[in-house]
Amino acid sequence: MSKIACQISGIVKSFGPNKVLREINLDLPAGKITALMGANGAGKSTLVKILCGVHQADAGSVFLFGKSFDPISPADAFKSGVVTVHQSINNGVIPDLDIVSNLMIDRLAEQNSGFFINSEKLKKEANKIASAMDININTATLVRDLGPADKQMIAIARAMSHSPKLLILDEPTSSLSENEAKRLFVLLEKLKKQGVAILYISHRMSDINSIADRIVAMRDGTISGLFEDKPLDYEGAVTAMLGQKLSQAAIKTNKGKRVVLNLEGIKLSDSSTPFDLSFYENEIVSITGLIGSGKTNLASEIFGLNNNSKAKMTLNANSYSPNSPKEAIAAGVFMCPKDRASNAIVSEFDISNNLALPFFKRHSKLSFLRNKTLRKNAKNSIDKLGIVCQSEMDSVTTLSGGNQQKVMVGRWLAEESSVLLLDEPFQGVDIKARRDIGLQIRSTSDQRATLIFVAELDEALEIADRVIVLHEGNLVGEFENESKNIPEIVSSFSGRSVNLNSSSYGT
């Protein structure tokens, strides 16, 4: 029987009248990976913040390897060996510093670090940490110049440098490619053998099947299920976290008749082959592939973020060549970006103002915002997307990550468009929230072409009429979303070109 690394007993936490955690009792064994699943608002983040010293519990106790553990700050938790990598990448890295400084900054903050900095020694230690994580980047590089996946790996590497006793990872693979995720999993296996307890927050079935030793489900601030028998009962855990069995929604696929957006000669990298694509009215297209496949580059081309594009594009049969997102939006092409913390949510605004961005002109008169229309717009989106909040006037930062994601997507669904680009719209949301967002996307799609860029195949299949697969900048597959095509879709993920242009759209 494994030694208990962390024992959580009777933890209670409230924010005003809202009781977030209700008598949480949970043991985290040393040398085991515990996958934690829970719907948005179940209390996962609050529990993690108590463990890492951001919040203090109202009642209950935590013991770390038999000793009382009650951290008053994240630094206090660090010293005790509890290290957390949060879902938001920006919480784990400092963009304006180089990789060396990011990996060693906690050492520099220590009181015994001395007045003078030994740069060569720090660089040597940073390179050692990067090598252990198989990070092959010049450590003098500024973190702001890295892509999301590399930033995530740096945040994880920084956490590893603390030799954790309890490592908490919140959706760590959301920005990682398949190979990067495998590197992470290898490292976690090493940490398990060293006796580290790992709390792994994720809803990804592929992650859980690959590395989890047990699954814990949370619902409404309580532990609703514990699954330890092999093979792990993922479906049972989903039912426990939702309180009901989640049936698979059947999709009646649409075949568009009118071309809305046509692309000719799209080239996504220097080494890729140009290709053509057409997108139709009342059609939802999932554009999928591993991280690095070119999905975000394609979205950028369409949204006017690539001024050097040589592609020929037409929108509603008219020439379309936006030089900026402003021009794209004016033409009726909207884009919901994938990094809500950096590119979408304005933390200083309330929910209603976040939902109205960037359409304030439609909610104003004589340069004054009309609060009545703002609130009406917000209440409509809150109702349709199931955004959990006290009021549309709440600060957006009071929402869980999944509900912030709903706000970000709802902003673009509330306005009519010709083309809607959604880059990873389900990132960081639970299965139920994913369904809520997906249903709203489909119910509003009849007058536009909708392009959804996702790395997870199950997300692509859950919502699309058509599935397009990219690999290293190349178009390798185009399929109708039918069960008979799933083997070929999976096969095309590896880069093997199959079934190109075989679907009969618009005919």
For 8-35, what is each residue's pLDDT tens digit? Answer: 999 999 988 788 999 999 999 999 999 9
Token pair of 389, please? Answer: 């909040």
Give the span between the Cα atoms of 116 and 110, in whole angstroms: 13
Q: What is the tens place of the pLDDT at every residue in 164-188?
A: 899 999 888 877 777 778 888 888 8
Give the span between the Cα atoms of 489 and 481, in whole angstroms: 9
- Asked whether residue 355 falls in the same domain as residue 322, the answer is no
pLDDT at residue 224 in the model = 94
Give the span between the Cα atoms of 388 and 362, in whole angstroms: 25
Strand 419-423 relative to strand 368-369: parallel, antiparallel, unpaired? unpaired
Q: Provide the 3-class DSSP secondary structure of residue 117.
A: coil
C-beta separation of 148 from 156 below 8 A: no
- Asked whether residue 357 falls in the same domain as residue 271, the answer is no
- Asked whether residue 299 falls in the same domain as residue 319, the answer is yes
* 378-405 core/surface letters (b: 16 or more CB in 10 A; e: else): bbebbebbbbebeebeeebeebbbbbbb
Q: What is the tens place of the pLDDT at every residue in 403-422?
A: 888 888 988 998 899 999 99
Among 214, 242, 270, identify where a domain stops: 242
Q: Please give the residue that has the higher pLDDT: either 501 or 310.
A: 310
Among 391, 416, 441, identify where a domain stops: 416
- Asked whether residue 139 falls in the same domain as residue 285, the answer is no
- Asked whether residue 131 falls in the same domain as residue 152, the answer is yes
Using CA atoms in the order 114, 115, 121, 124, what is the torsion angle rounded to 10 degrees? 90
- 116: pLDDT confidence band, cut at 50, 70 and 90? very low
Phi, psi of 73 (to 5 degrees): -165, 160
- Asked whether residue 75 falls in the same domain as residue 166, the answer is yes
Residue 369's nearest CA partner among 378, 356, 381 is 356
Give the span between the Cα atoms of 172 and 201, in whole angstroms: 8
pLDDT at residue 108 in the model = 59
109 pLDDT higher than 60: no
446 pLDDT higher than 60: yes
Q: Would you give the distance in Å from CA 170 to the centre of its chain? A: 10
Its pTM surpasses 0.85: no
The Cβ-side half-sphere exposure at 485, using a 13 Å CA radius, reads: 23
The residue-averaged pLDDT of 75-100 equals: 82
Asked if residue 66 belongs to a domain, the reply is yes
Give the CATH number of the domain where residue 222 resides. 3.40.50.300
151 pLDDT higher than 60: yes
254 pLDDT higher than 90: no
Long-range contacts of 360-366 (CB under 8 A, 24+ apart): 362/415
285 pLDDT higher than 90: yes
**Residue count (the chain):** 507
Asked if residue 337 belongs to a domain, the reply is no
The residue-averaged pLDDT of 294-316 equals: 89
Residue 249's nearest CA partner among 443, 404, 409, 382 is 443
Q: What angle do CA 425, 427, 430 make, to 5 degrees?
A: 105
Residue 152 CB partners (closer than 8 Å, separation 6+): 89, 92, 172, 174, 175, 176, 180
Single-letter residue type at 429: V
Asked if residue 227 belongs to a domain, the reply is yes
Q: What angle do CA 41, 402, 97 make, to 5 degrees?
A: 115
Number of domains in the chain: 3
Single-letter residue type at 462: E
- Asked whether residue 236 falls in the same domain as residue 252, the answer is no
Residue 190 CB partners (closer than 8 Å, separation 6+): none
439 pairs with which residues across the strands? Answer: none
Q: Rounded mean pLDDT of the chain?
A: 84
pLDDT at residue 57 in the model = 95
Asked if residue 128 belongs to a domain, the reply is yes
- Asked whether residue 68 falls in the same domain as residue 178, the answer is yes
Give the span between the Cα atoms of 206 and 193, in whole angstroms: 22
340 pLDDT higher than 80: no
Token pair of 143, please? Answer: 């973190």
Tell me what percent of the residues of the chain surpass a pLDDT of 70. 88
Only one residue has tokens 């009248």, namely: 17
Give the span between the Cα atoms of 204 and 436, in whole angstroms: 17
- Asked whether residue 76 falls in the same domain as residue 158, the answer is yes
Among 193, 211, 242, identify where a domain stops: 242
| Residue range(s) defining the domain that contains residue 296 | 247-332+417-507
343 pLDDT higher than 80: no
- Asked whether residue 251 falls in the same domain as residue 296, the answer is yes
CA distances from 164 to 29, 78, 152, 195, 202 (A): 14, 8, 18, 10, 20
pLDDT at residue 364 in the model = 72
